[in-house]
Amino acid sequence: MNCSSCKSTNFKRFGKDRKGNQRYRCLSCGKTFTDTEHLEGKTLSMDKTLMVLNLLAEGCSIRSTERITGVHRDTVISLLKTVGEKCERLFETLIRKVKVSHIQADEVWAFVGMKEKTRKRRDKDEEGLGDAYTWVSMESDSKLIIAWHLGKRTSKDAEIFLEKIYHAVEGTENRFQMSTDGYGAYPEAVAYSLGTRVDYAQLIKQYAAPEADDHRYSPSVCIGAKAVAVHGNPDMAKVCTSHIERQNLTLRMSMRRLTRLTNGFSKKWENLRAAFALQFAYYNFCRIHKTLRCTPAMEAGITNHVWEMKELLG
């Protein structure tokens, strides 16, 4: 056991706290601490930390997590940011050189602070406000999230997203197929980042014209879809975005920040990014997929067991 502040091993007993835990005083820096396990840099007990993170991963809001656990909302957000950084580093370390056969990609809409039309109406030029699109790619067989990127819906963000896919998949012998929707920024970004490694096709959906008195929140009815080969020699029978669209639904059900028509939306860009990092890591390594009957990381051969939330913190 080390001092939680200076990591010194020179300490002595110093009574007990109100819960009966043994306290110690560091003889080097004078700080007091207990022998209970903590996340590095945090004073919250590990049991409480894991409870907070599991609630967030299962779709609870910040304030509902505060009510259930008794942990202050500021502490919950601080913990989310710390764990979000760890989960991003986990992606950069483990999701590398993955062998894939068919990748599907899509964007999930959300907003930070206010919607884009409100931001323009109020003439707000601050960064991190308005619409926020999360670019997500998934391997259709293993259901593994290959890469993700939080940004705007622009050509620049498409290039950043495709570069992340480039670094995540195995590129020496692994030629794969990729399917996306009809967004115009994809073809150039795919050709630039993946080149001859991919057979790429788009599934262009056709929507009916909205009626004059149609005030629904959802888009118009989809009346058809056309598969178009864009790059390489894709198998047109396999062009599909159904799996990634279902993953979008999983995201919206698992993250309070993505629930529509509520006040649970993110107020800060970095908080939304941390929430996505936690959610994708939890989905890949900790959550058993009901179809696969194991986690996506196990199906992809990245790990051989279901991770506990505590393993994400390591």
- 252-304 pLDDT per residue, tens: 999 999 988 888 899 999 999 999 999 999 999 999 999 999 999 999 999 99
- pLDDT of residue 85 exceeding 70, the answer is yes
Look at residues 177, 174, 173, 175 and name the one whose alpha carbon lies nearest to residue 137: 177
Cβ neighbours of residue 15 closer than 8 Å, sequence gap 6 or more: 23
Angle subtended at Cα 95 by Cα 91 and Cα 99, rounded to the nearest 5 degrees: 165
- pLDDT reported for residue 42: 67
Contact 255, 65 (CB under 8 A): no
- pLDDT reported for residue 126: 86
- pLDDT of residue 38 exceeding 70, the answer is no
Selected from 1.10.1040.10, 3.30.420.10, 3.90.1300.10, 1.10.287.70, the CATH number assigned to the domain covering 88-211+218-312 reads 3.30.420.10
- pLDDT reported for residue 262: 85
Average pLDDT taken over every residue of the chain: 89
- pLDDT reported for residue 82: 93
- pLDDT reported for residue 44: 81
Given pLDDT bands bounded at 50, 70 and 90, which one contains residue 1? low
What are the sequence ranges of the domains in the chain? Answer: 1-36, 88-211+218-312
- 206-246 pLDDT per residue, tens: 877 766 555 556 667 777 888 999 999 999 999 999 999 99
- pLDDT reported for residue 26: 87
